[in-house]
Amino acid sequence: MTPKIDFYLLDRHVADGRLRAACRLCKKIHALGHRIYVGTIDLEQAKALDDMMWTFDQSSFVPHGPYDPERSIEEVPVAIGQQPPSGGDYNVLVTLLDTVPDHYDEFPRVAELVDNTPEDKARARDRYRWYRTQGCDLQKHDITI
């Protein structure tokens, strides 16, 4: 399976912009009925995203939690962790990683969130080129935070 990769480019840099964009994207994707795994750089970023998911939108709730292979997909339809699990429980990978995530090719859809900094854009361009060599369907979207 060759996944569809969507690059979401933030329109400006703010301290928690990628996390806010991840929350909004997860809300939208979950509302469409998808199961989402959010790959974070480290435990600190995972905790920050988990906390923000509770507060980013006072009018709605996105059912989420830390990834735990012992918990069912029904309990945690939006899971947050450091590396995507292998297997097919989740059908969308939202990644905050600076590298191509492990097991990316086991997801039909991958969403790459790119901060508006020269460093993050350069890393994203490298990932974009690599995905292209793998035959992935690539799309770019500009988003406002």
Confidence check: pLDDT of 145 > 90? no
- Is 98 among the domain residues? yes
39, part of any domain: yes
Look at the chain and report how many structural domains it folds into. Answer: 1
Residue 103, domain member (yes or no): yes
pTM over 0.85: yes
Domain that includes residue 129, residue range: 20-112+124-143
Taking only the tens place, the pLDDT of each residue in 43-90 is: 999 999 999 999 998 888 899 999 998 888 889 999 999 977 877 789
Residues 6+ apart with CB under 8 A from 39: 81, 82, 83, 84, 93, 94, 95, 96, 97, 101
Whether 29 maps to a domain, the answer reads yes
Interval 9-43: pLDDT, tens: 999 998 899 999 999 999 999 999 999 999 999 99
pLDDT of residue 76: 92
Distance of alpha carbon 14 from alpha carbon 23, whole angstroms: 15
Q: Exposed/middle/buried for 96, CB within 10 Å: 0-12, 13-18, 19+? A: buried
CATH number at residue 53: 3.40.50.10110
Task: Tell whether 46 is covered by a domain.
Answer: yes
pLDDT in tens, 80-124: 999 778 777 899 999 999 999 988 999 999 999 999 999 999 999
Q: What is the pLDDT of residue 58?
A: 86
In a domain, 67, yes or no: yes
**Residue at 138 is within a domain:** yes
In a domain, 43, yes or no: yes
